[in-house]
Every structure is written in structure tokens, then in C-alpha cells.
Structure 1
Amino acid sequence: MYFIGKVSGRQTCITLGLAIIIATVLLPGMQGLAAMVVTCAAIFILGQLLKRTLGGQTGDTLGAAIELGELIFLLALL
């Protein structure tokens, strides 16, 4: 089984920071920030589950995490 390379903490912080800025600028009030927090929590839980069960993420699980993140973010906006 092949695993994707590691993402540094710096890359994660930059990407997350940009996403939070975009969400708070484009969405009214704190709704964007709240949706980001819910999404990040869900993806963190998924990442921990994948690390425990598979030993990391594969390309397929990364794609699933992206799709799941989009769905959770949109549902959190409702």
C-alpha cells in the first residue's frame, strides 16, 4: 500500500488560515468561521481514524476527505 507524502505543519497552518479568511470575508457574520470549525473538527476526526486503521492516508482516502469536507461545510452553512 502506498501513502501520500507528509504535509508540514506550516503548510497546514497557511492553508487553514487562508480558508478561514476567505470564509469569514465572503460569508456574513460568524457563519463562515463556524462552518470552518465544524469542518476542521470532522476532518481531524477522520484523519485520526484513518491513521489508526490504515496507518495513514492514501490517495483514495484523501479524495474522500475532500468531498466529505465540502459536504460538511455546506451542511454547516444551513
Structure 2
Amino acid sequence: MPNSILTIVLVSVIGGLLYAAYEQHVKLQLKKHKAKPDEETQKEIADLKERVAVLEKIVTDEKYNLRKEIDSLDKAS
């Protein structure tokens, strides 16, 4: 009888340790994948940065501001 109790305790402890090690392994793998964006995501980010730069040029252009002022005067009259 004492041998069976000892066996149950040992199996439980070893099982718990193996499960904890597996959880740590899974967490590490998820962390690695989250930390490094893939190639497609990198390209999309670069494209978006380029689009933002173009939009910033348009908005800060003096002709754009003049056009907005003229349009607002047309709407006011």
C-alpha cells in the first residue's frame, strides 16, 4: 500500500514538472514570434511610412494651404 501512494505522488510531481516545462517552452515560442515581425509585415510598415511621408508633403505644401483658404472663402460667400 505505501508503494502505491509513493508511486502516485512521484507520478504527480513529475507530471507537474513536465507540464510546467512545456508551458515555459510554449510561452518562449510565442514571445519569439511576437518579437520578430515577418517579412510581409515589414513591407507593409515600410509602405505605410512612405504613404504618410507623401501625405505630410501634400499637407505642408504652400499651394495646398492657399487652395484651402480659397475654398473656404468660396464657401463663406
Q: Same fold (TM over 0.5)?
A: no
TM-score normalised to structure 1 length? 0.33
Given the two structures, how large is their TM-score scaled by the length of structure 2?
Answer: 0.33
More contact order relative to length (CA 8 Å, sep ≥ 6): 1
Larger radius of gyration: 2
More helix by share: 2
